[in-house]
Amino acid sequence: MTSGVDIQTEVEIAVNEIRKQWQPTPTVAVILGTGLGAFVDGLNIDLVIPYSNLPGFCASTAIGHAGELVCGRVGETPILVLCGRTHSYEGVPLERMTFPVKVLKQLGVSTLLVSCAAGGLSPSFQAGEFMVIDDHIDFLLQLKSPLTSYSRSFTSTPYDEELNELICNIGREQNIPLNSGTYVSVTGPNYETRAEMRFYRRMADAIGMSTVPEVTLARQLGMRVCGLATITNLCNPDALAIADGEDVAKVASQTEPNFRRLVLELIRRISNVGQAPACLP
Ligand code: HPA
């Protein structure tokens, strides 16, 4: 972290640092959730920069989050992959948690794919399946908004309908079952009690401890956003199972081959989809 400079200056310092080492202009970026780190093995990797070498980036203390920026290509398309994110339960301020999104924007990224591990609230979900996030509920109640200006906030859902449709089509073509639904973000790091499971089941299909801050800021910055949750455990109040971070990371890593197939194909097709819907003035 660079002390004594404002956040915009810090963003510029990080952007210059990345540009010094890697010159392509990436239009697509991926944020990898818990246990999905092997995704980068499917890329042509040009460069790996540890977050510790990037001013303003925070390394995560959470299981399954490497803390590296991977610069590479899918075919000819340059992409950036954030391997690891921080969470509110790590005590990281919101502005720091969402800092990498500002850097991505400044580097030219216009489409962001955000992934996460999540508990399945919907009774029809199975562990190991995916859920395309079609909307979210922000229950990170103790946090202030990552938006610094309310005059340009989006309305409706922040998730891009065309990208969601595209990924659902890819899932069908590749025989990878995809659910769609609402994601609720909570602070954690504790998993839910039985009563909380009952409560959250009334409002959402999957629950996790991330995603919403980055998505909110990315939309504010005018990016198109697609969110994919890996259902790593089931939150069934009538058949309680103890969730634990190691198991969550293990199940997520087992889904990674299918995650990779979906996301690489999405990136290949992305150039055929139009521009991001503009933020409201
Ligand atoms: N609850 C909250 N966050 C999670 C869960 C869960 O059950 N599984 C993975 N992330």
Asked whether residue 280 is assigned to any structural domain, the reply reads no
Classify residue 279: in a domain, yes or no: no
| Residue 146, in any domain of the structure | yes
Residue 281 in domain: no
Asked whether residue 18 is assigned to any structural domain, the reply reads yes
Cβ(118) – ligand 1 distance below 6 Å? yes
Closest CA to ligand 1's atom 4: 208
Contact 221, 149 (CB under 8 A): no
Q: Does 192 contact ligand 1 (Cβ within 6 A)?
A: yes
Q: What are phi and psi of 230, to 5 degrees?
A: -95, 125
Residue 99, CB-side half-sphere exposure with 13 Å CA sphere: 28
The number of helices, as runs of H, and strands, as runs of E, in the chain is 7, 9
Q: What is the pLDDT at residue 47?
A: 95
Within a domain: 277: no
* Residue at 278 is within a domain: no
Its domain, for residue 44, covers 7-272
According to the model, what pLDDT value does residue 195 have?
Answer: 97
Average pLDDT over the chain reads 89
Number of domains the chain is built from? 1
Token look-up 């401890």 returns: 209
Contact 207 CB / ligand 1 (< 6 Å): yes
Could you tell me the CATH number of the domain that includes residue 129?
3.40.50.1580
User: Is the CB of 235 inside a 6 Å radius of any atom of ligand 1?
Assistant: yes
Atom 9 (ligand 1): residue with closest C-alpha? 118
pLDDT score, position 147: 67
Place 280 in a pLDDT band, splitting at 50, 70 and 90: very low
Is the bond into 189 cis (omega within 30 degrees of 0)? yes
Asked if pLDDT for residue 274 goes beyond 50, the answer is no
pLDDT per residue over 146-199, tens digit each? Answer: 666 544 555 577 999 999 999 999 999 999 999 999 999 999 899 999 999 999
What global pTM score does this model have?
0.92
Other CB atoms within a 10 A radius of the CB of residue 183 amount to 28
pLDDT tens profile 60-86:
777 766 799 999 999 989 999 999 998
Q: How far is the C-alpha of 159 from the C-alpha of 133, rounded, in Å?
A: 7
**What is the Å distance from ligand 1's center to 105 Cα?**
28
Residue 42 lies in a domain: yes
Q: What is the residue with the minimal CA distance to atom 6 of ligand 1?
A: 119
Per-residue confidence (pLDDT) for residue 36, from 0 to 100: 95
